[in-house]
Amino acid sequence: MQDKTNKTDKTHSSLNRRKFLAASASAAAIGFGAPAFVRGRNLNEKLNIAIIGSGGRGGSNLRSVSSENITVLCDVNEQNLFRAGQSHPKAEKVKDFRKVFDHPEKFDAVVVSTCEHTHAFATLPALQLKKHVYCEKPLTHSVWEARVIREAARKANVATQMGTQIHAGDNYRRVVELVQSGAIGPVQEAHVWVSRAWGWHPSEAEAKAANDIVYSPKRPSHSDPVPKGVDWDLWLGPAPERPFNNIYFPGPKWYRWWDFGNGTMSDLGSHWIDLPFWALKLDYPLTIEAEGPPIQKEIAPASMQAVYEYGQRGDLPPVTVGWYQGTNKPKFWQEKKIPQWANGVLFVGEKGMLLSDYRKHVLLPEKEFADFTPPAPSIPKSLGHHAEWIHASKTGEPTTCNFEYAGLLTEANHLGNVAYRTGKKLHWDTQAMRATNAPESDQYIRREYRKGWKLI
């Protein structure tokens, strides 16, 4: 998995990307001016919020924003609507999220917690109406959708936040400060691994050994009765029509099926790759290569790995970022050169290494950093991931996982799957939004939608 591209080519490509990114980077840095209906708003005044997706993650997000005024509840599952309505009896109840936007005067902001394949369809109309949006991760189902949402958010000039909740934790902040202050010197490689092995397994025994929640080696040929109160056609949304089966529902069973999700790469990648993306100021990869089990038409792999190459970013050197899921692990881990953490992010610098997970981190080799004094904290403590978004919606201050940042992260994560499904090392042209050496990857960058569904 070595790249033959020379450093001069990488730098040239990187400089072209810098020009392309200049406007968006500036927009992300300065935040946004509050829309007319929010400017001058009393911070004690509550936002009117529409909840799209009120079960599972949606129920958790609902509880996290319940300090505000919940005016609309939407879910394709009547049971979810009923439960959410118990705590918010005055909220209007809607089954089809498209109808939520028929009455935009009822809400200032939207929380989107549908399944991955409908994220963009619920998020885009909210942005077009200049409503603040909190959307669960991953931001979208495809690379093209991520680009559409990022550009729409830039035009809308509203408060946006992707649901990478761990980004608000203190540990990530301290790691970013260490990396960016040069504690381990210039970083030229990073490795990210997660132990979750959900997806396609060669056998049911291996699926059980991996603690997967369901097992299916292929698309089921039979249908099951649709649960009472569930609108299966609405649940499918833009995805190709197929009969209901319990293997897809309820969540998160669906996330392994390409028609509805992108497996662990886009799901946990949103949380774990977030750390090197932040610390190393990443944007667009130059190349992406992936490997794993034989490619399955319907199901994402339980175990796989991908390698991204990024060009020089300002005074930061080119860097490779490795992703490993399930049974795959980086060589540093396999050779026991680092603590055997089940999940982690490893930064490899010229002066040492830094290993982190969600809540702790360590400089390696530990004996060489025994007398090290970390830099004083410089990144402010978060108000809380949801609270940060609510505060931004009222004040116009920036959020840390806004759709500019989250859109770039989502594009990169999806490209790992595109490389895997294409079976080639991709040379990525971000302006054209295509792999120059693999036109067959286009089908995974942007897909066709079911009749009656159109994003733009």
Q: Give which of 251, 288, 234 is closest to 426, Cα–Cα.
A: 288
CA-to-CA dists, residue 322 to 342, 361, 363, angstroms: 16, 19, 19
Domain ranges of the chain: 168-201+260-380+401-445
Per DSSP bridges, beta strands 132-136 and 48-52 are unpaired
Q: Are 399 and 161 in contact (CB under 8 A)?
A: yes
Q: Inform me whether the pLDDT recorded for 34 exceeds 70.
A: no
Q: For the domain covering 168-201+260-380+401-445, report its CATH number.
A: 3.30.360.10
Q: Any idea how long the chain is?
A: 456
What is the rounded CA–CA span in Å between residue 438 and residue 90? 53
CA atoms within 13 A on the CB side of 98: 10
Tens digit of pLDDT for each residue in 66-119?
Answer: 999 999 999 999 999 999 999 999 999 999 999 999 999 999 999 999 999 999
| CB-neighbour burial class of residue 312 (10 A; exposed 0-12, middle 13-18, buried 19+) | middle
Tens digit of pLDDT for each residue in 396-428?
Answer: 999 999 999 999 999 999 999 999 999 999 999
- Letter for the amino acid at 24? S
Tens digit of pLDDT for each residue in 242-293?
Answer: 999 999 999 999 999 999 999 999 999 999 999 999 999 999 999 999 999 9
Q: Give which of 369, 334, 329 is closest to 349, Cα–Cα.
A: 369
Reported pTM = 0.92
Residues with Cβ < 8 Å from 75, sequence gap 6 or more?
52, 53, 54, 55, 58, 81, 84, 95
Neighbours of 449 (CB within 10 A): 15
- Letter for the amino acid at 38? V
**Element containing residue 139 per DSSP (H, E):** none
